[in-house]
Amino acid sequence: MSLDLNSPFARDIAHHIHPQTNLRLHETEGPLLIDRGEGCSVIDSEGNRLIEGMAGMWCASLGFSEQRLVDAATRQLQRLPYMQTFAHRSTDPIIELATQLTAMAPGPRPGETMAKALFACSGSEANDTAMKLVWYYHHSIGKPEKRKLIARRRGYHGTTIAAASLTGLPNMHQDFNLPLAGVLHVTCPHYYREGRPGESEAQFTDRLVAELEALILNEGPDTIGAFIAEPVMGTGGVVVPPEDYFPRVQEVLRKYDILVIADEVICGFGRTGEVWGSDTFGIRPDMLTCAKALSAAYFPISATLVSQAVYEAMRAESDKLGNFSHGFTYGGHPVGAAVALETLAIYRERDIVGHVRRVGPRLQAGLRALADHPLVGEARGIGLMGALELVQDKVTRASFPPARKVPGYLAGRIQKRGVILRGRDDSLLFSPPLTISEAEIDTVLDAVAAGLDETLDWVRGH
């Protein structure tokens, strides 16, 4: 049957470049066309209903049909559809959003909150901004040589040049001439994959902390500006760190006057069962970045939040240079701010964090119940995020060759059963809307169990 060259399917293949996609494969497979959304589900162009088990891209925290957010955007579009925030201009929505975010975000010491908010449109831009502010801050305090940033292998911080450099995934660097000089990476805190034979989890943490300090001393403490980390690694595989990992890492960083940046782009606003992943793991950041669930994905918006000390240095440097020469055309967009404010109101009124605490254990128990499956090496997660690590040998923990694309095949089998999940590297990832019900969680888990069995048959037959 010939393909209608004027169909959306054909025109997508002809004209649209898809991020994080095999471009040649897309020319033969084409897109999954999504037509509309209802609750935690989306409906494709053929009328199939699919539970969105990844909340789109970790971000559709309130699902796909929240009328209050549509109304908030509409009201603001009718009143003031755009205003920039350069050169002293502002609007009521962005003032209120900055006020609320700084009051709710943890600062570098117990009892402190963040001081100021700087807005952009994506998590990548927020982390790119944080990297620039590290340099700006250290110039201001007379230590311009503190330029290097430490990130972690398998961490994900975005795809701009700076954010992709911080990202610790090789495919984000290959043939893009990345990472930038001065970005260093240390071991991912994934005990299952990175722990050595006979090494306890406590010993594993000891080793990672020692590795970090050795790197700092080898590079020179006076050259290290900041350390950036997601509380739970998202795209890198939903890696939950050992319990005392972050408190001990921070001891080392404070010892050498190294700034702490918490990348809360995925974890923020309830994903881990606390408002911030930093609250879950005891992180006291000097800067905090957030996006995604800030507007429940209904409008592109992100924020870089800074402590009082960082802001005071920014102010002094701005005075010296005559201007703070950074910003984005759509940073602080009034429509995005209005949607974000309504999103925060819904989180409070519906106790979304409490809901995550109530239903999260259902997802986590279901994932761990699948740990005995022959294809599953590890089930892990916290709150409403999780992963199944796929292996071809449970004893040796050997992964499948990447060319076999087993996680992708599994995700395809699950999608046939009405659930969208993401297969990446060795893992199947879970990040449903924060509003998901226990019944919907059960549907997701049932589809995964059946998909695992079908994938096992396929693996054995190939």
Q: Per-residue pLDDT for the chain (462 aa), expressed as one digit of tens each?
A: 456 888 999 999 999 999 999 999 999 999 999 999 999 999 999 999 999 999 999 999 999 999 999 999 999 999 999 999 999 999 999 999 999 999 999 999 999 999 999 999 999 999 999 999 999 999 999 999 999 999 999 999 999 999 999 999 999 999 999 999 999 999 999 999 999 999 999 999 999 999 999 999 999 999 999 999 999 999 999 999 999 999 999 999 999 999 999 999 999 999 999 999 999 999 999 999 999 999 999 999 999 999 999 999 999 999 999 999 999 999 999 999 999 999 999 999 999 999 999 999 999 999 999 999 999 999 999 999 999 999 999 999 999 998 899 999 999 999 999 999 999 889 999 999 999 999 999 999 999 999 999 999 999 987
Domain boundary among 349, 366, 393: 349
Residues 226 and 311 occupy one common structural domain: yes
- Residue where one domain finishes, among candidates 302, 334, 349: 349
What's the pLDDT at 318? 97
Residues 6+ apart with CB under 8 A from 376: 370, 388, 389, 390, 391, 394, 452
Which tokens sit at 452?
């695992």
- Closest by CA to 122, choosing from 277, 304, 280, 286, is 304
C-alpha–C-alpha distance, residues 59 and 78, integer Å: 26
Burial call 163-181: b when 16+ CB within 10 Å, e when fewer:
bbbbbbbeebbeeeebbee
Give yes or no: residues 94 and 49 share one domain. Answer: no
Flag whether 113 is in a domain: yes
248 plus 312 within the same structural domain: yes
Q: Tokens standing for 114? A: 């963040």
Residue 390 is assigned to a structural domain of this protein? yes
CA distance 155 to 127: 12
In a domain, 11, yes or no: no
60, 135: one domain: no
Of the CA atoms within 13 Å of residue 441, those in its CB half-sphere come to 23
Same domain, 61 and 132: no
What residues contact 153, with CB distance under 8 A and at least 6 apart?
A: 168, 185, 186, 187, 188
Q: Say how far apart CA 216 and CA 222 lie, in whole Å.
A: 9
* Position 27 in a domain: no
Q: Are both 263 and 172 inside the same structural domain?
A: yes
Do 281 and 140 share a structural domain? Answer: yes
Amino acid at 410: L
CB-side neighbour CA atoms (13 Å) of 246: 21
Domain that holds residue 262: 72-349
Number of neighbouring beta carbons within 10 Å of residue 159: 17
How many structural domains is the chain composed of? 2
Q: Which of 349, 378, 405 is the last residue of a domain?
A: 349
Q: Running DSSP on this structure, what letter comes out for residue 299?
A: S
Same domain for 264 and 305, yes or no, is yes
Residues 6+ apart with CB under 8 A from 379: 367, 368, 370, 371, 386, 387, 388, 389
CATH number at residue 272: 3.40.640.10
13, part of any domain: no
Shared-domain flag, residues 147 and 42: no
Give residues with Cβ within 8 angstroms of 389, minimum separation 6.
192, 193, 237, 376, 377, 378, 379, 380, 426, 427
Q: Does residue 7 sit within a domain?
A: no
Does residue 284 contact residue 107 with C-beta atoms inside 8 Å?
yes
Query: Is the same domain home to 85 and 214?
Result: yes
Q: Is residue 310 in some structural domain?
A: yes
CB 145 within 8 A of CB 222: yes
Is residue 305 in a domain?
A: yes
- Regarding whether 237 and 189 lie in a shared domain, the answer is yes
Neighbouring C-beta atoms of residue 324, cutoff 10 Å: 15
Asked whether the whole model's pTM tops 0.85, one would answer yes
In this structure, are 60 and 76 located in the same domain?
no
Identify the CA nearest to 338 among candidates 104, 82, 88, 123. Answer: 82
The half-sphere exposure of 120 on its side-chain side, counting CA atoms within 13 A, is 19
CATH number, residue 445: 3.90.1150.10
| pLDDT (0 to 100) of residue 1 | 44
Question: Sheet of 385-390: strands edge to edge?
Answer: 376-382, 385-390, 427-430, 422-424
Looking at the DSSP assignment, which residues form a beta bridge with residue 430?
A: 386
What token pair was written down for 110?
């117990």
pLDDT of residue 2: 59
